Structure 1
């Protein structure tokens, strides 16, 4: 009887430890357009990368107008850049404005006002089969 109790206690402990360690299954319900934009803003202004990989579409394209030259980057390149700025808080004032919105696509202008210049990010968020994801970001410096 003692042996049976010990085995049952061990199995119960194993199940409890397994349940506590289990990673939550990502839910597409959290992948709203607002969530995607807020996650992006947290990443570029505060260096908070939690959830950024999930809100960026696999084919996301980042473009940046520098003078007369357009620089383009893919998801992997931008994630490496973001990791370099992890937990770095930008000294800017950030504002967002919805430029265009329908049931499938939203374009949101994210302005970052620094001393002496403004970075405007035009972020396109699409309603994909996996929730709302960022598909394009175009940055302009003024």
Structure 2
């Protein structure tokens, strides 16, 4: 009986510490680089887990193609990313910081496909305690 109580106590402590650790990961504040890495993983590698958390409520996606402008809001962007979930892009990519302050970062993500280059200018801004993407502008 004593052994059973000890095992149950150990399991209870294990479960409690696992739950506490999971909560701390979910509520951890996102840095500018965390947000950038999550976006790159979603776009390039199709890893969309948590993408809802990196886009601001007032997020705006603007794409220019020839003389036309296309706009997406947060919901539409999430749907677009989820549609290509687990799809690995056949491209090489580079990121470079264009501008950075303590509360904002602008990054260029350049994706090179065979015969085609797509450039995303990503604005990451501080929203409350976390950083989130507020705007993406794409030219192709």
Structure 1 residue 13, shift from structure 2 partner? 8.3
Does residue 1:19 correspond to 2:16, yes or no?
yes
Structure with larger Rg: 1
Structure 1 residue 114, shift from structure 2 partner? 0.5
Equivalent residue, structure 1, for 2:82: 83
1:59-86 Cα deviation digits (max 9, x unpaired): 1111111111110001111111111100
Distance 1:107 1:139 in 2: 13
Gaps of 5+ in 2: none
Distance 2:10 2:102 in 1: 48
Distance 1:59 1:66 in 2: 23
Distance 2:32 2:18 in 1: 30
Q: Give the secondary-structure state (helix, strand or coil) at the position aligned to 2:112.
A: strand
Distance 1:61 1:75 in 2: 7
TM-score scaled by length of structure 2: 0.84
Equivalent residue, structure 2, for 1:101: 100
Structure 1 residue 21, shift from structure 2 partner? 7.1
Task: Within 5 Å, give how 1:1-142 maps onto structure 2.
Answer: 12=9, 15=12, 19=16, 22=19, 23-25=22-24, 26-28=27-29, 31-141=30-140
TM-score scaled by length of structure 1: 0.83
Distance 1:17 1:97 in 2: 42
Number of residues paired by the alignment?
A: 136
Q: Give the secondary-structure state (helix, strand or coil) at the position aligned to 2:34.
A: helix
